[in-house]
Amino acid sequence: MEKKIILQTNNIVKYFHEPVKFKALKDVSFEIKESEFLTITGKSGCGKSTLMYILSTMDSDYEGELFIDGKKISGQSQDQLAMIRNKNIGFVFQFHYLLPEFTCLKNIMIPALKLGVKSYEQIEYEAYQKLELLDIKDQALKPASKISGGQQQRVAIARALINDPKIIMGDEPTGNLDSKNAKVVLDTFKELSQEGGQTIIVVTHDTDFAKKSDRTIVMADGEIIDYGY
How crowded is the C-beta side of 130, counted as CA atoms within 13 Å? 28
Q: Please name each of the domains of the chain with its CATH number.
A: 35-60+76-226 (3.40.50.300)
Supply the DSSP symbol for 221: T
Written as one letter, the residue type at 96 is H
* 13 pLDDT more than 90: yes
For the entire predicted model, the pTM comes to 0.88
199: left (phi over 0), alpha (psi -120 to 50) or beta: beta
Question: pLDDT tens, 186-210?
Answer: 888 888 898 888 999 999 988 888 9
Question: pLDDT tens, 99-149?
Answer: 888 999 999 999 888 888 889 999 999 999 889 888 889 989 999 999 888
